[in-house]
Structure 1
Amino acid sequence: MNRKLILTIFYLSFCILNCFASHIIGADLSLVRTGKSNPNYKAVLHMYIDEHKQGITENNPLEIVLLYRKRDNKLMMQIDLQQETPKHLSFKNKTCADFFDIHLFAKKMSKEIFLDPNLYDDDGGYYLIFDRCCRSPLITNIDNVGLASTALLLEFPSLKKYPNYSSPEFTVPNGEYLCKGKPFQMTMDVTDAEGDEIKYKIVEPLSGYTGNGNSFFVNFTPQTTYYPVKWAAGYGLNNQLPGNPSLSIDSKGTISLTPTETGFFNFAILVEEFKNGIKVGSNIRDYALPVLNCPNTTAPSKPIITYQGNPINQTIEICAGQTIKLETSDDPTWVFQWKNNLDNILDAALNNISVKDSGTYRVVKSFKSTCAEESESEPVKVKIIDLNSKVKIIADRLEACEGEKILLKLENVSQTADWYLGSGFIKKDKSLIADKSGDYSAKVVSTNPTCPTVKDNILLKIYPKPTISIPNVLGYQICIGDNLDLKTIESPNYTYQWLKNTVPISGATDSKLNVYEFGNYTVKVKNTTGNCEVESEEFKVTLKTSCGSISFGSTDNIYLPNTFSPNNDGKNDDWQVYNLDKYPDAEIFVYNRWGDPIFYSKGNTIKWDGKYKNELVPVGIYIYILDLKTVGFSPIEGKLTVLY
């Protein structure tokens, strides 16, 4: 006979004698990666049990979870979960919990399994189902609750498409009760190994197919639908736990309400998991909370957390591996419950606690023999200083030029350091903007003197920029055929590059440039030590207006008019040079007042219509240069007036 079937029959036989009871207060299911290749997953079931109906020492051999393919509800695997050590839920006010006789414990069942991605590759996904009877008769808002089963549904995607998938996992809750008319909050958050987007929603608990004439322990018949529980009169989705404000859950998994009715109320929380906006999985926590008529008794004074006799101001730092004792004032009439990150710490009911883990600690104080409202301390944050952790400075560069800045930050973004330049303190921060040369250091100093200071150093060099000459603001003027030297400061530690009208001049790499053309010149100077470069202001080279002209012999009769009016009136519309028949290679240049060439012509027929780039030039005086390109004749320079 199949071994699994034998075990299942044994379990069912065992449970006929031991397991049939109305005991379930709540449950949740998760499927988490193990970090191993085989088995690669662990199925985990938490059941929350009413101890009046099942003792914490009573042992169930296993609970059964079934794995189906969604597309056709094909059974893929039966998972027999084994019980781990159960634990009582810890109440912050144990006196009142005992007074109202509320005793609950958490039973964890788990099994490591292998899910082959090549087998679990269906794009429609898969689901786990846990279907178990019966719920605790304490529950107020479900009809015929003693025979109502609990169903948990966990959906997950194709493991071939999402090979690293791990479902959200609920943390075991605190033991809690609510007081009618008093605001209440409780964390129902999950952890997610992949850091996916998590969304919470209040939903109706699901009812399974166990009980009511079927097996109380497992239902092997595939079901296409799992329906909500049948509510008792007056209850439903929007009134599962009556309150004003009503039951709600925020984006971090914290439920809140102010209850308006006493009872033991069942509700459910759906957790949906999204990757890049696409839903990939979900699971449910089914849970019940008691609402009581709490005594209207004055709470004890607010406890104050101390360390070595001194109150702690919000944060205390300890070295990794160190254990410290947090305390609060004691009194034989008080009882305590310590908490870390809002979770009650098991068996932490004295006025002191030994702490070696980081977190936010609080202590709740209540009367030992009287059920009354409790009081809670201010939070104290315990921060661990890891002796093995290093401080490392990250720089966006190690060298810069004068006027530039270097960003320094810490590799560990959670650290805050004291920043120094040499021995001079600068500031306390996570980063620093540096603009000076020197040895910078970042020191992480603990408030706990027993923890060593850890630090890192980095050497930065800020190089000065080259010194350059300032051009004459009046500019530089030359006559046609002349030249001049433009100069900047000479240094063997500099390299040079001259430019004309922003274009580099080939071979112009000295501190001096000989120019014979009009234009706007600049020089880029770079130092060889820091590679810092600066560019000069413009050296403006223009035509000199006082250049002398050369006259021709009287027999040449060359005539250059000094005025014309290109207004298209039929009179003097063109400027023309006459009597150039002997000079077929003659060239003429016309310049504006800034030395820019605006007209050029070659040959012995020279005529200008007064346009530059197809537009008439403005009224004004222009310079012309006529070069006859003949031995013995220098270029002729003159002025030309344009009128309209």
Structure 2
Amino acid sequence: MHRLLPSVFLVLLLLLGAAVPGRATHIVGGELDLQYQSGSRYRINLNLYFDAVYGNPGALDNELTISIFEKGTDRRMQNLSLPLVANTNVNYSNIACTLPVLSTRRIQYSNLIELPASTYTNPTGYYAAVERCCRNNSIRNIRTPGNAGQTYYLEFPAVVRNGRPFINSTPRIFPPLSDYACRGDLFYYDFGGQDIDGDSLVYELSTPLNGHSTSGMPKPNQAEPQPYLPIQWQPGLSVLNQIPGDPALTVDRATGRLQVRPNQLGLFVFGIKCSEYRNGEKISEVRRDFQLQVIDCPRNTPPAMSLFVTGNSKPYEPGKDVLKLEPGSSRCVTLRFTDPDPVSSLSLSLRPVNFSTPLPSFSVLQGTVRTPGAPDTLVSQLCFGSCFDTKGKVYLLDVIVADNGCSLPKRDTVRLAFIGVPDPNAPPLVATTAGPGLPLRARIGDLITFQVTGQDPDTDPVTLEMRGRGFAPASVGAALVQNSTGPQVSGTFTWRVPCPTTDKFLYEFEFAAAANPCSERQASPPLLVPIQIDYTNAPPSLALALADSVTVITRQLGEPFRMTMEGLDTDIDLLTLTATAGGLDLAAAGMRFTAQNGAGKASGVLEWTPNCAVAAQDKVEVTFRLQETTCRPVPKTRTLRFAVVKPAAQPFLPANIFTPNNDQNHDFFELPNLPPDFCDSRLANIKIFSRWGNLVYQTTNRTFKWDGGGLPAGVYFLLIEFTDKSYKGTVTIAP
């Protein structure tokens, strides 16, 4: 490790003396960011960088207030309290000039905030601000730094655009500055941020904002709207000359990389503005302030490194030699690296030039030289894996050794050109115990099981695979379970043969063993195991105790009918015999079906007592179905029609005259040839009226005999009523 020169101590003492705070000077820098959560909810974060050496502990706030304003009008939208959520140390690089005068803590404040779409609609956007005082007294590039505050500032767009939600998170994760700069040496640092939305980021220097806070009012209750007064540069300095040097401080617009070769000692504050663009339109802005310590550094000589290929005593010559990594040859390179500076800590790293991964590995990654008990030169092995394949191209790899010199490491780089050819690799092998008699033959319901084995000649781990030709094995219930792992594996195939859902009775299974040497799949040639399902089925027969030509059964109302039937199956499958009536259930039709089912034989008896329900439908169809229990059943059916015979309708001509004179000849009026009763057509009433409409006789008895009731001779009116019709006429009582 390098020692500081006496002049360096003098400068540091001057800096320390100037840094003793008289007030609550503590702010190193910081920034805001706004992150989308869900719905209308966002999280707003504040990173405040705190001087842990000279900062007044009483200036550490447990909470700060952030204010939201509408751009254009500066209308205050809301204030929100940001509680302290974390307090961590910023780790500075392990460099030789590390000093106790600079120690920074990252103070994080955070809270959830609602930005409802009904409110945050202004197309000009919004801005947020937190105001706090004061900055370090020892800052030398601005006026009265101990009285200068900081305004943490960001801009964000409306959450609705063109009537649709507009979701955006501002850039974040700017790495805190954690190094020193040396006067007269080029200093650089990656200050770039990240954006989860993939928007474009543009960086530029900006003047840090002072705002409205003062040493007399270091923590306002709320931020005031813009404009925020900027800090005042010392004479000769400006936004483009914040840290004097050759060149002065610059930032890369695309990457955020800072660069400066400072020519003055001291502590310098600087500002960076990061603008976010989407589709060429600026949608947000984040500002960050930070400070950089410039010191006098001791002289640092770069380290040196040589590469040696196995079997060659001469060092590798970049631009001339090409390393060939071939099967049977060494895949390692010897590195010898050293540094003329005393107590120098060295570290190795790699940077691929025209490829990405994988990268080789070091046996020794870092070490110290030229300290008591330590060697002058360190040795490491850089070894490539046996899988490295450049596919005939020359790959370039920068091998870098860096010291821990102040303020940035000095490096030596050797560009290694190499061609990699991987070790040969044989494909794995697969076998089964299913043979030799193929195809395997099985019946429906059989359980087929056999073993599948795989092995790899190169001892690569093997995985068993199964496929079906024209079908997915899982869809038919087949499974292959691998029982072991490694270069030799076994698995168990099981399949309970199902009834095929199609006419496919040959199933061809393919088995393979696969390995992934060098992350590239290698598989054995597929091994085919066909399985033939043996299945035959003779349809059952159904016989009724009727001639085949009989299709209609007719009976009188109430006349019993009984019929037997029998089903037979030569395959002795379980038979089931059923009967169903169309439009009625069997009981409603006056029917009862009794079946005796069994293997290979089933019988049934149908009993029918004809009723009016069948008569009302004219005909009822009954289907007898014989179903076999097998893989692909072929049912047998027979349909019969059942009808009730209706009585023949005779001409109805009622007598219309009688002589109640006791001469034994037509002494009574009667109706022996009334239409018969049938289901819904039944005799309801017989009525006789006088010529003046008076009811003189009434009966419901179809076998009645009326003697005239002593009424005088004459013509009377007759009304005969059935439930579905009526008859009218006259009857004459003759003397």
TM-score by length of 1: 0.46
TM-score by length of 2: 0.41
